[in-house]
Amino acid sequence: MTKSDEEVLRVEDLHKRYGDHAVLRGVSLTLTRGEAKVVMGSSGTGKSTLLRCINHLSPPDAGRVLLEGQPLTPATLNAMRRHIAFVFQDFNLFTHLKVIDNVRLGQRRILKRSKAAATERAMQELERVGLADRAHYYPAQLSGGQQQRASIARALAMDPKVILFDEPTSALDPELTGEVVTVMKQLASEGMTMLVVSHEVGFARTAADEIVFMDGGTIVEQGPPSTLFANPAHERTRAFLKVITHQESA
Amino acid sequence: MIWQTLYDNLPFLMHGTWVALQLLAALLALGLVLGLTLALGQVYGPWPARLGGWAFERVFRGVPAVVLLLLFYYGVTDFVALSSFLAAVLALGLRSAAYQSQIFRGAIQSVPAGQMQAARAIGMGRWQAIRTIVLPQAARHAIGPWTNEFSSELKATSLAYVIGVVELTRQAKYIVSNTQGNILIVFGVVALIYFIVNRLGNAVLYRVEARLAVPGFERRSP
Ligand SMILES: Nc1ncnc2c1ncn2[C@@H]1O[C@H](COP(=O)(O)OP(=O)(O)O)[C@@H](O)[C@H]1O
Ligand SMILES: [Mg+2]
């Protein structure tokens, strides 16, 4: 919402296939600083694959990813991933570590912050997502919504330049999605650069600068939420939006 | 009379127990280091490591322990001089490595793939992620089966007597020969010693297991 025109992430013509199934067939997009972009599209269309190819958790077959102009390469990968946080659909908190240690680990091991600095920062981020009082719980002792908020705190503590969210609310019971969406809206309004795969219409309408609609491994349409929701140009987009906006009001 | 004999021979029994414990510690240590290496190679390594690990496991789990002992003692000593103790450490240690690699492989594989992905996503290298995320969780899955392996190997140390390692069972055999008989009582005492060592070892391992058991990794009931 506080978008500038300084480019943070540039994705150029990504291709990815699994066996003889071409999952990504040339996807390009850019994110400017402070921009929140929401990716929508039906299941199996390659949205998760796109996010995983962006930080090379699955290396793309072709195409480039640039962070602030620097291309991700095998040699620079570990150093650059710390700037690209990833929030997973099923949270993936480190199960054997307390919440606070989940938020401290990357700061200590990757950013080499002192224990005191990492602890202070971890508590700030847990405060921000409303989990300061759960710092010394283990992930298994938290609800799904709390686990996802903790994983967002873990991401934030790394000072990422961009955060990738892969359907952060779709593993949650409906009554728990609100608390996660609230945190994400707050991040968007504070100017965090984020690429969010999500079908949360409420989030998309109010927090997204742009909606990207994917189908069959390509981007079929993109534009500001007001335009895209009001008069989608493509039949696929229209049909898809009808389904999710219907679910929303149901 | 027999009690007097036992009392007189107590130092020998204690010494035999000590030798058995040394053998146990050495073979478990060899099995741990090699078994973990094999397991990591099998899960994360290239195909030669997977194939090698698989073949090693098959061979050492498929041959009786006594045959391995005889092979290492009489077979290998033709080429390199090995004390009977060292031959026993190698034979039983390599066999234990096969069993332990199976335990560790299963434990590593039961750590969900998302844990590795989350570690890589914050910028950890593969080896760093294995060390800091995967292995601490795998240890919690492995400790239960490893306790069983400890018990099996304690009992297996008694087999080393066939190649002349003077451990507890062989000491008992000497006492029986020197005192003409008393088999039942002497071996009864020896059985009791194995039983006690096993219980003590298990008690220690259960405590380790309890310390590792954080929410999400509840311990199985002992
Ligand atoms: N690791 C993989 N191996 C094989 N096929 C995969 C793999 N990951 C994803 N796919 C396939 O790629 C397609 C797109 O998957 P995904 O990116 O998860 O879609 P979405 O997130 O949009 O639902 C699916 O058909 C899926 O089965
Ligand atoms: Mg997906």
Q: How many CB atoms lie within 10 A of CB B199?
A: 11
Whether A154 and A236 share a structural domain: no
Q: Which of A92-96, A233-237, B82-86, B99-103 has the lowest mean pLDDT?
A: A233-237
Question: What is the pLDDT averaged over residues A2-24?
Answer: 91
Whether A123 and A170 share a structural domain: no
How many domains does the structure of chain A reveal? 2
Counting ligands in written order, the one closest to the CA of A89 is 2
Question: What pLDDT score does A207 carry?
Answer: 94
H-helix segments, chain A: 47-54, 77-81, 99-109, 115-128, 144-156, 174-189, 201-207, 225-230, 235-249
Chain B residues with CB within 8 Å of chain A CB: 112, 114-115, 117-125, 128, 132-133, 136-137, 140, 214-217
Cβ proximity of B124 and A78 under 8 Å = yes
8-state DSSP, B83:
-
Q: Give percent above pLDDT 70 in chain B.
A: 98
Whether A150 and A170 share a structural domain: no
Question: What pLDDT score does A243 carry?
Answer: 85
Higher pLDDT, A229 or A99: A99
Whether A218 and A131 share a structural domain: no
Whether A68 and A145 share a structural domain: no
Cα separations in angstroms, B87 against B76, B92, B149: 8, 8, 20
Whether A126 and A59 share a structural domain: no
Question: What is the pLDDT averaged over residues B146-173?
Answer: 95
Provide the mean pLDDT of chain A. Answer: 94
Quick one: closest CA in A to B125, which residue? A78
Higher pLDDT, A235 or B222: A235
Whether A171 and A134 share a structural domain: no
Whether A46 and A154 share a structural domain: no
Question: What pLDDT score does A248 carry?
Answer: 60
Whether A168 and A70 share a structural domain: yes
Residue contact B115–A94, C-beta within 8 A: yes
The bridge status of strand A194-197 relative to strand A162-166 is parallel
Provide the mean pLDDT of chain B. Answer: 93
CA dist., res. A224 & res. A168, Å (int)? 21
Confidence (pTM): 0.92
Q: How far apart are the first and last CA of chain A?
A: 28
Q: Give percent above pLDDT 90 in chain A.
A: 87
Question: What is the pLDDT averaged over residues B85-90?
Answer: 96
Residues lining ligand 1, CB < 6 A?
A 18, 23, 41, 43-49
- Name which of B56, B86, B9, B123 is nearest A112 in CA terms: B123
* Domain's final residue, options A116, A144, A159: A159
Atom of ligand 1 nearest to the CA of A49: 17
Q: Give percent above pLDDT 90 in chain B.
A: 82
Domains, chain B, ranges and CATH?
Answer: 2-212 (1.10.3720.10)
The alpha carbon dihedral of A87, A89, A95, A99 has a sign of positive
Question: What pLDDT score does A1 carry?
Answer: 47
Whether A118 and A242 share a structural domain: no
Whether A154 and A165 share a structural domain: no
Question: What pLDDT score does B181 carry?
Answer: 72
Domain that holds residue A96: 86-159
Query: What CATH number is given to the structural domain containing A200?
Result: 3.40.50.300
Q: Give the helix, strand, coil percentages of chain A, each rounded to 5.
A: 40, 25, 35
Residue B182 scores a pLDDT above 90? no
The alpha carbon dihedral of B163, B169, B171, B172 has a sign of negative
Local confidence band at B2 (pLDDT 50, 70, 90 cut-offs)? confident
Chain A residues with CB within 8 Å of chain B CB: 55, 57, 78-82, 84-86, 88, 90, 92-96, 105-106, 109-110, 137-141, 151, 154, 158
Atom of ligand 1 nearest to the CA of A52: 17
- Name which of B118, B100, B107, B111 is nearest B33 in CA terms: B100
Q: Give the helix, strand, coil percentages of chain B, each rounded to 5.
A: 85, 0, 15
* Domain's final residue, options A159, A191, A206: A159
Question: What pLDDT score does B51 carry?
Answer: 96
Local confidence band at A85 (pLDDT 50, 70, 90 cut-offs)? very high
Residue B222 scores a pLDDT above 50? no
* Domain's final residue, options A159, A174, A204: A159
Cβ proximity of A176 and A143 under 8 Å = yes
- Name which of A164, A209, A169, A183 is nearest A58 in CA terms: A164
**Tens digit of pLDDT for each residue in A113-162?**
999 999 999 999 999 999 999 999 999 999 999 999 999 999 999 999 99
- With H, G, I as helix, E, B as strand and everything else as coil, classify residue A3: coil
- Name which of A2, A13, A7 is nearest A68 in CA terms: A7
Q: How far apart are the first and last CA of chain B?
A: 41
Chain B residues close to A140, C-beta within 8 Å? 215-216
Q: B112 φ, ψ to 5°?
A: -60, 145
Whether A248 and A211 share a structural domain: yes
